[in-house]
Structure 1
Amino acid sequence: MLTADNDFILIVDDNPTNLSVLAQALKASGFKVRVAADGETALAIASQHHPAIILLDVQMPGIDGFETCQRLKADQRTDMIPIIFMTALADTEHKVKGLSIGAVDYITKPFEETEVISRVNVHLKLRHLTRELETKNQQLQEFNQNLEHQVHLKTETLRQTQSQLVQREKLSALGELVTGIAHEINNPIGCIINNIDPAQSYIANMTQALQLYRANGEQITPAVLAEIERLDLDFILEDLPKIFKTIELSGNRIHDIAISLRNFARADIHTQQVTNIREGLDGTLLILGHRLKAIADKPPIQVHTHYGGTPQIACYPGQLNQVFMNLMANAIDALEEAIAQNQLSNPEIHLTTELDNQAIVVRIADNGPGIPPPIQTQLFDPMFTTKPVGKGTGLGLSISRQIIEELHQGSIQINPAVKQGAEFIIRLPLTT
């Protein structure tokens, strides 16, 4: 049954009797009907009023049904209208031709009214379902476009958030680095500064004594001798070399720190460099040295190094050092927490390197409270942290895994067999 007010069935036949019989039968079944006696009239009505379905006679004067069908299908305004051919030609050749140019069905003359009504109903239902499907497809396309837009916005927001968090993690590591360097460099700089005044005083006294000797030559009077005695040249000659030696040692210490900092902070992201990872481990210990020292009631954290095979490997030193910094800082955090809760009095960290089946294995272990097994499976998940709010980003271990696995084709894991404390194991292939 047609529903829209402008939906109708167009009957095209040059035989008035056929038009009358079909029109009455369709109207009796509740259909709206319009008729046309030739192909040209049918084309005009179809292009202007868009019938729901066309019953089209094959043999007509002027343009026949086949050409009329071809023109209807060639016009974007009418190409979707279902066409049912009506013909007395029952041979297969004509049916195949009609279907090949776009018809949906055939009705053979003379008509059986019930058959005509049945076929019309079937194709109207198919047309209705097709329209519904087109509408649903359009809605689905719009939904998909909107979804893609929303996903793009969400992805962009997530990317920005992730970038901010990664930047925050880098700033956190930078803060640890700056703090460590500040503590390590403060002592030698303080030593140099504190020795400048006595060194200048000694040099001034020696200069004055030399000037007195030069001015008096062999005629040194008791007064001149008393003045020289007051300058205490013997003590100056003994202490001044010690001051210069202390300044030299402090300068060397600053030089070593500068080299460690340079090695530690290399940001060679795009190219690998051949290096010995022991340099990165030692540099990390140097930078974190201030956190290992005894402060007030906190005992010193003892670090035991067990360096086995550490051949040079091609790697990204700056990124590896970031991993070492993260793991060691986490170990120190765990030990400090245990000390604060009076659970530990002899904090220790063990650094071990060894060769194993064409890989360098680095173990970083502590004797702190350890990590419960249920939490171990989540440690490397982004945003997961066991630290209080504001104390960690939850990205340190996630970024560390990315650096080890994606950049170096290695592996990083926590050792589940450790009964006390925690041990992280890094495997780096000798060739990447």
Structure 2
Amino acid sequence: MTKISNNGFILIVDDNPTNLSVLSEALASEGLRFRVAVDGESAIAQAERNQPDLILLDVQMPGLNGFETCRRLKANPVTQKIPIIFTTALADMDSKTKGFSLGAVDYIPKPFAQEEVIARVRVHLRLKQLNEFLEQQVRDRTAALQQAQVKLVQQEKLSTLGELIAGIGHEMNNPINFITSNIPPLEEYIGGVTEILQLYQQEYPNPTAKITTALEDWDLEFILQDMVKILDSFKLGTERIRQVSTSLRTFCRSDSDTKVPADLHQGLDSTLMILQHRLKGNGDLPGIEVIKKYGTLPEVNCYLGQMNQVFINIIANAIDALDEAINKGKMSNKIPQIQITTEINSQHWVVIRIADNGIGIPERLKQRLFEPLFTTKPVGKGTGLGLSIAHQIVVEKHKGTMEVNSQPGIGTEFKIAIPSVSTTV
């Protein structure tokens, strides 16, 4: 027979000393621990303080009878899962039906047969253990399925993002190369045309009336000066697009199979470039100031594409928090800011802190931020996977740590720490 754990105890509830003696002797003979209560009120109080593995409950007691005691125990979340076996001389079907409807698991008839008491107790103790084991298995499997779901979503997001950015980069390169390669000859042509016009003005200082009218209508001097400025704008614009293209390629670097030494500052800057449109002021929303306090970091052995995904999730969440604070009128006395700090700690790990001065996160929600499918955002605005994926990337893929510190009304800081190249085997 399977051995029953002796860590817990059985609560015997009966007002009859003879019944208590018989039940106590039966349980003691099998080495089972037990406690005694002589009425329903004390039984409920004991069960709330220290939950027993099983309750043997007499039906016919003065004051609070067994049925009412059972009903109250099952109505209390603290005690509702404790198996209850009624001990009673009532053998009619109505009494048994009432007991089962209240949540009892079995009946032991009086007078007691010791063998029957032990057999029924052992069966229900074993059933309780099996039920607890199954519940734990369900929790473990549910957690495993959630983790698997997070991994699948992460892989899909990275794959989709990589394909999207690769396509955008390819489409951007052709027109940018075309514009860039044509700016120098265009600049040369404009210079040549300007020189020829100036020579004409010198050689023919007295143009015809038609030419004079055209010069006045078009303001030739202004046009010649403005064309140079337009060319300079083209150069600045193409350089900006080149930077964006480089940032896109850096952000979605394809290194998912192998860790490589990488500059995390470059990843952070690429992420900020991609999110630049959200950092700028838009309509009634003021711009968000980004303060970078970069320390001197070594290259870090990491999956840079995945680390960039961590950065974009955290920074995008910080922007969301600041936007929410602004919309709720809670930023009237301060400038919206995101501060990014990097350093090496005493264990020679790279530490990255990303902080905002938004509305903060309540303590009751902060504890669940890294749970899969949990989100503080309104329906339709968050999947509850971003921070869960980020936590998984840092902790599981890079053997690092990820913490959140937040104070409502002050702001939120995410702290990431991962081993540097020198500490990674």
In structure 2, distance between residues paired with 1:360 and 1:156: 30
CA contact under 8 A between 2:281 and 2:287: conserved in structure 1? yes
CA distance 1:251–1:414, shift in 2 (3 Å): same
State the identity %.
Answer: 41
Q: Does residue 1:425 correspond to 2:404, yes or no?
A: no
The alpha carbon displacement at 1:364 in A equals: 0.5
Distance 1:166 1:331, change over 3 A: same
The 3 A distance-change label for structure 1 pair 429 and 387 is same
Q: What amino acid does structure 1 have at the position aligned with 2:414?
A: F
Contact 2:361 2:407 in 1 (8 A): no
1:375 aligns with 2:365: yes
The aligned counterpart of 2:328 is: 341
Contact 2:357 2:411 in 1 (8 A): yes
The 8 Å contact of residues 273 and 316 in structure 1, kept in 2 or not, is answered as yes
Shift of 1:347: 1.4
User: Unpaired segments of 5 or more residues in structure 2?
Assistant: 1-137
Distance 1:175 1:288 in 2: 19
**Runs of 5+ consecutive residues of structure 1 not aligned to the other structure:** 1-149
Q: Give the CA deviation at 1:421.
A: 0.8
User: What does residue range 384-399 of structure 1 map to in structure 2 within 5 Å?
Assistant: 384-399=374-389
293-302 or 363-372, larger mean C-alpha shift: 293-302
Cα distance in structure 1, aligned partners of 2:145 and 2:396: 24
Please state whether the residue corresponding to 1:309 is helix, strand or coil: coil
Select which of 342, 345, 349 maps to 1:356: 345
Q: Which residue of 1 aligns with 2:401?
A: 411
Alignment of 1:192-341 (within 5 A): 207=193, 210=196, 222-223=207-208, 226=212, 229-230=215-216, 232-341=219-328
Instruction: Give the Cα separation in 1 of the matches to 2:272 and 2:236.
Output: 20
How far off its partner does 1:415 sit?
Answer: 2.3
Deviation at 1:417, TM superposition (A): 7.4
1:273 positional shift? 2.1
3-state DSSP of counterpart to 1:222 = coil
Q: CA deviation at 1:205?
A: 11
User: Shift of residue 378 of structure 1?
Assistant: 1.0
Q: Name the counterpart of 2:19.
A: none
Q: Post-superposition shift, 1:355? A: 1.1
1:58-105 residue CA offsets vs partner (Å, 9 max, x unmatched):
xxxxxxxxxxxxxxxxxxxxxxxxxxxxxxxxxxxxxxxxxxxxxxxx
2:74 is aligned to none
The alpha carbon displacement at 1:275 in A equals 1.6
Which has the higher Rg, Structure 1 or Structure 2? 1
Q: 1:360, 1:334 → 2: CA distance?
A: 26
Deviations 1:275-328 (A, max 9, x none): 210111111111111111112221111111111122222211100000000000
Alpha-carbon distance between aligned partners in 1 of 2:159 and 2:326, rounded to the nearest angstrom = 27
SS at match of 1:406: helix
CA deviation after TM superposition for structure 1 residue 368, in Å: 1.0
Counterpart residue number, 1:3? none
Number of paired residues? 270
Q: Spell out, residue by residue over 1:120-177, the C-alpha distance to the aligned partner (whole angstroms, 9 max, x if none).
A: xxxxxxxxxxxxxxxxxxxxxxxxxxxxxx9xx9999979865764467559978998
Aligned residue number for residue 146 of structure 1? none
Distance 1:156 1:415, change over 3 A: closer
Maintained 8 Å contact 2:262/2:301: yes
